[in-house]
Each structure stands twice: as structure tokens, then as C-alpha cells.
Amino acid sequence: MSYLQMIIVTGASFFITLILGPIVIPILQRLKVGQSIRDEGPKSHMSKSGTPTMGGIMMVLAVLITTLTAGLSGEQMKDLYVMLFATISFGLIGFIDDFIKVVLKRNLGLRAYQKLIGQVLIALILAIYFLKTSSYKANIYIPFIDTSIDFGILYIPFIVLFVVGTTNSVNLTDGLDGLASGVTLIIAAFFSLVAVKMGMPSVAIFCGALTGACLGFLRFNAYPAKVFMGDTGSMALGGAIAAVSILTNLTMIIPIVGGIYFIEALSVIIQVVSFKLTGKRVFKMSPLHHHFELCGWRETKVVIVFWLTTFVLCMIGLFGIRI
């Protein structure tokens, strides 16, 4: 797998997403699957009400079409199927949640415990599969110190927590036009470069397709957004990134390169714990991107700063991996 091949795959996925946009968005508009905006959210977001959601379908389709026509075979297809399984299955949970909210008009969607049960079951399948098939076994690579730790019997619960945590963190990041898609684009590009260096063509092709899909989706999702990815897209992206990091044995690099995911989720945890224990809020609003909005930052400024932060973190991440 060469860098040129990866670029071709990325470009193909990008153009497929661009083609899907004018097809999928009008369909979503006709189905009236418009985003509802929380009353307690930033007032500037009220104008987004009614914008079509569930646009993540475009990215999932682009990745699916691109990877399945990329010419992989044998063992490479097994890894590809696992990544697609994680992407589609988590995306399906998001799709059901979106469908209940915007089509059946039940604002809460799936209950929290229902989503969690589904997420844990999928994560458990992935954890058992990787433990049985991965050459790394239960060893987890630790970046910067270039060593691995054998997690032994703790490997499965660790992977389950990691997968569930990652997918929900990406979901929390999806709150501003172009934020989650842009951050994930950069992280997917990081993993595609790493996969080429590691000699993992299936991962490189998948991440290249994911990069192109996110880039194409930004054409419609950047401010002012014509479509939102919904939980369909954010959950699918979270599942994809989680599966890729496990396949490459780089789960411990996610808190670094995915630092934005991490602080978004952490801000919610801090806010909830603080309010329950003291009755006071640490942030003006959580997740963190809303805090900056309420501090007076324009939405586009928050998004660009978070993109640049992710780029810098990915550069740091490259130094932490010895390939």
C-alpha cells in the first residue's frame, strides 16, 4: 500500500460523498427529518432548527462503496469487515435513535440504558474477536515509552470501556457545524498515514475512505450547515475510530490525538458531578464547545481552534509512535 494509493482512495470517497449530498439531502428534507434544538442550548442555535439530520448515512455509504471496491482480498478483507462492522453497527444504533427522535417525534429517542446495552454488546463482540485473532493478543502498546503492557484478563473490559467511551465522546463532540466531521477527518488521516507505515493496507484504505468521506461531508456540514450527521453519523465515526485504533494496537494514542473527544466528554462528566455534589456548574454549558460559545466566541472560531488543536495533537502523536 503506497501513499499514492491511499490518496486515490481518499479522493474516490470524497467524490462519492459529494455525489451523494444532492441526492440524500433532498430526500431527508422531503421526509422532514429536521433537527430539533434544545431550549436550554445556546440561543444562536435556534436558527438551526429544522435542518435535515441523519446525514451520516452519506459518509457510511461512501466508506462502504469505496472500501468494498478497493480490491482487497484474503486476510485483508477480514480486518476490513471488522472495521465496517463497528462502523455500521454503531451507526445503526445512532440511526434508530435519530429515527425515533425525528420521524416518530419522540424527542428523547432511545433511552440511555437501551443505547448503552447495544453499545456494550457490540464492544464485547469486538473485544472477544480481537483477543482471539490479533497478533498483539492482550498486549496494549504504550506510546512515547515504546513498550507494551499485557492486560491479561482485563483486556476485554478495557476494550469494552474504550469502545463505548470513544463512540460516546465523538457523539458529544458533534454539536457545532463541521466540528465532529473536521476533527475526525484529521484523526482518520493520521491513522491512514500510520497504517501505511505499519504495512496494514486494509486499515490504510479504510482510513483513507473515512478521511475522504468526512472531507466530502464538510462540503454540506460546514457553517452554515445544510445537513447534520445526527447520531447516525457520530456513532458510526466513533465506532470506526475505535476499531481502527484497536486493530493498530494504538488505543492509548486516542487520548492524545483524540484529545478534543476526550475533553468534550470530560467536560460533561465534570459538569454533572459538580452540579450533583455542589449545585454549581464549572462551565457555562457543556460539552466544552458550548462553553466557549457562551464566552463570546463565534461558532466558526470554536470549530477552527478545535481543528487546529487536533492537528497539533496528531503531530505530537506521530512522535509518540515508533514504527
Angle at 53 between CA 163 and CA 25, to 5 degrees: 125
Is 98 annotated in some ligand binding site?
no
Question: How far is residue 8 from each of residues 5, 116, 220, measured CA to CA in Å?
Answer: 5, 37, 22
171 marked as binding residue: yes
Number of alpha carbons in the 13 Å side-chain half-sphere of residue 45: 17
pLDDT tens track for 267-322:
999 999 999 999 999 999 999 999 999 999 999 999 999 999 999 999 999 999 97
Tell me the pLDDT band of 246, cut-offs 50, 70 and 90. Answer: very high
pTM more than 0.75: yes
Q: What angle do CA 58, 60, 64 make, to 5 degrees?
A: 115
Nearest to 246 by CA among 85, 112, 108, 92: 85
Q: What is the pLDDT of residues 115-137, one digit of tens each?
A: 999 999 999 999 999 999 988 89
Nearest by Cα to 241 from 227, 216, 221, 262: 262
Cβ–Cβ < 8 Å for 208, 10: yes
